[in-house]
Structure 1
Amino acid sequence: MESIEISAKSEEEAVDLALAELGLSRSEVEVVVVKKGRGGLFGLGSEEVRVRVTPLGLFSSEDVDVGGMAKEVLENLLSLAEISASVNLGAKGSGDEAVIPLDIEGEDLGILIGRRGETLSSLQYLVNLIVSRRLKSRVGVVVDVEGYRQRRYESLRLLARRLADQVRSTGRSLTLEPMTAGERRIIHLELRDDPYVTTQSIGEGEARKVAILSKSNSRENLP
């Protein structure tokens, strides 16, 4: 059973028509709005909504281009947000934790990054959620905006090394600014094998941050 696209006056009507044709319920399909409708004065110049309806369980990670699927999902999300940009699919990594890299390119894309990369993280979460539901298995998609993550992570690694040197020299702990879970992980991994310092996440929620402590007196100097 393949995906179908249906046009109608409203999204609800288009979905109902697609479900009737497929013989499925709403919980058994994935719905993507391909084209938003537009109302017109007295019906003049109006455009119908067009949706793509895909039965869940249609895909499997063994016989489908997961990278291509993730790219399409991200492009649809950008289109719905009326953001003009292109999506580039990078080479998938290898191993059990292989990820699928997607990089967004365009003009004035700061809105997709957000404060401390939070908007970008939310967008990445949505892409992973949609693709995982289609495949009924977990996938690893990394969404970036013109190399922002790579630059950010590299700057965090350099910052971690510089602050670790300060802690080693002074013996006093230092605390970084609040970070996302992914950014905190970069700090922890960078200093994991350092013989002189250790790291610890402190705080709750959006205020959670990383403290860098001297191994010689890590209990005494935690802020």
Structure 2
Amino acid sequence: MGEKKYTVQDAGPRIEQFLNTVIRLAGFKLNYAVAAGETPHPDFENPDLLVRFSGPDVELLLANKAELLLALEQLTMEAIGMAPEEHSRLCFDANDHRVLRIEELRMSALAAAERVKKTHVPFHFSPMNSRERRILHLALRDQTEVRSESVGEGPIRQVVVVPSDMQTLPEPIRPPRPRPEGPPGRGPGGRGPGAPFRRDRRGGPPGRGRDRDRRRG
């Protein structure tokens, strides 16, 4: 990535101002420190700045594959005016999540490459942000029998691993849309889900047999 563009002295106060506001309004019990970037995997990630979180609510940040941590990172980048191509210069971390995630992505990329070599069938990764897509691409840069490409746009942009000689890239896989839910505890026709259609002793719908008896009497 070359020369460092963001420093603790320059960007640190702006990051702190934004994070202090978010943490206070959300009521999180979190501490953090802004420091110069460092990583044990400089080939995959070499940020200018690293923000490390600690405190009782760290597990909230790391739940659901660190969804909240990544969202907070993205919002901070936008708040301090970082261009999309500069997003790799700022990294948020907690409990060494980034180190573990990089290794997970690297191993997943190599496993996908072996699978494509054997089957000659493209392998799609789930949609992910640009930083994690970059890690997958870097993990496969020395492969000769397969290659990685990014397909799709916006929130469905994803990495696909294909045989090196494949000319036409496959379409991105779109996540399934959530099924609409009706009122809780009710199925079609106003009955509860799976409720049996009750019959009386004569085999018809409830009440019909008794009505016939009344008419005959």
Find the partner of 2:150 among 192, 201, 220. Answer: 201
Structure 1 consecutive aligned stretches of length 4 or more whose deviation exceeds 6 Å? none
Cα separation, 2, equivalents of 1:73 and 1:92: 19
Find the partner of 1:112 among 61, 67, 76. Answer: 61
Cα separation, 1, equivalents of 2:107 and 2:55: 28
Give the alignment of 1:1-223 within 5 angstroms.
64-67=9-12, 69-92=14-37, 98-113=47-62, 115-132=64-81, 140-216=89-165, 218-219=166-167, 222=170
Taking only the aligned residue pairs, the percentage that are identical comes to: 26
Cα separation, 1, equivalents of 2:141 and 2:114: 14
Pairwise CA distance, 1:63: 10
Pairwise CA distance, 1:158: 0.7
Asked whether the 8 Å contact 1:118–1:180 carries over to 2, the reply is no
The total of aligned residue pairs comes to: 156
Cα separation, 1, equivalents of 2:31 and 2:9: 22
Taking a change above 3 Å as real, the CA distance of residues 202 and 128 of structure 1, as seen in their structure-2 partners, is closer
Taking a change above 3 Å as real, the CA distance of residues 201 and 63 of structure 1, as seen in their structure-2 partners, is closer
Pairwise CA distance, 1:163: 1.1
Pairwise CA distance, 1:91: 3.0
Bigger proportion of residues as strand:
1
Q: For each residue in 1:12-34, what CA deviation from the matched residue of structure 2 results, as whole angstroms up to 9, or x when unmatched? A: xxxxxxxxxxxxxxxxxxxxxxx
Cα separation, 1, equivalents of 2:14 and 2:70: 19
Cα separation, 2, equivalents of 1:132 and 1:206: 21
Q: For each residue in 1:15-59, what CA deviation from the matched residue of structure 2 results, as whole angstroms up to 9, or x when unmatched? A: xxxxxxxxxxxxxxxxxxxxxxxxxxxxxxxxxxxxxxxxxxxxx
Cα separation, 1, equivalents of 2:33 and 2:94: 10
Asked whether the 8 Å contact 1:199–1:210 carries over to 2, the reply is yes
SS in 1 for 2:148: strand
Q: For each residue in 1:61-82, what CA deviation from the matched residue of structure 2 results, as whole angstroms up to 9, or x when unmatched? A: 7894533553453233212211
Pairwise CA distance, 1:98: 4.8
Asked whether the 8 Å contact 1:127–1:141 carries over to 2, the reply is no
Taking a change above 3 Å as real, the CA distance of residues 109 and 63 of structure 1, as seen in their structure-2 partners, is closer
Cα separation, 2, equivalents of 1:63 and 1:169: 48
Pairwise CA distance, 1:104: 0.8
5+ residue gaps, structure 2 = 1-5, 39-45, 172-217
SS in 1 for 2:136: helix
Taking a change above 3 Å as real, the CA distance of residues 151 and 68 of structure 1, as seen in their structure-2 partners, is farther
Cα separation, 1, equivalents of 2:7 and 2:110: 41
Pairwise CA distance, 1:113: 4.2
5+ residue gaps, structure 1 = 1-60
Cα separation, 2, equivalents of 1:221 and 1:73: 41
Pairwise CA distance, 1:114: 5.6
Farther off after superposition, 186-195 or 72-81: 72-81
